[in-house]
């Protein structure tokens, strides 16, 4: 596909609303990520190992 077509496509994109599965992916990833990071940070704090 020529660059000019892609440029036009990028400039004139129709907005696609977020589907429920996309919302689930975003929220699920964020919540899992934050929970795991907090858990790891706690482990890191409780078991500092070698510094």
Would you count residue 42 as binding other proteins (CB under 8 A)? no
Site string for other proteins, 5-34 (x = CB under 8 A): -xx--xx-xxxx-xx-xx--xxx-xx-xxx
Q: Position of tokens 């078991």?
A: 47
**End-to-end CA gap in the chain:** 54
Number of CB atoms found within 10 A of residue 30's CB = 10
- For residue 13, the SS3 value is coil
Site residues (CB under 8 A) for other proteins?
1, 3, 6-7, 10-11, 13-16, 18-19, 21-22, 25-27, 29-30, 32-34, 36-37, 40-41, 44, 48-51
């Amino acid at each position: 596909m020529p660059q000019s077509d892609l440029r036009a496509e990028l400039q004139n994109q129709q907005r696609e609303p977020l589907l429920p599965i996309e919302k689930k992916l975003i929220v699920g990833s964020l919540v899992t990520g934050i929970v795991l990071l907090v858990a790891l940070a706690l482990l890191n704090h409780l078991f500092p190992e070698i510094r």
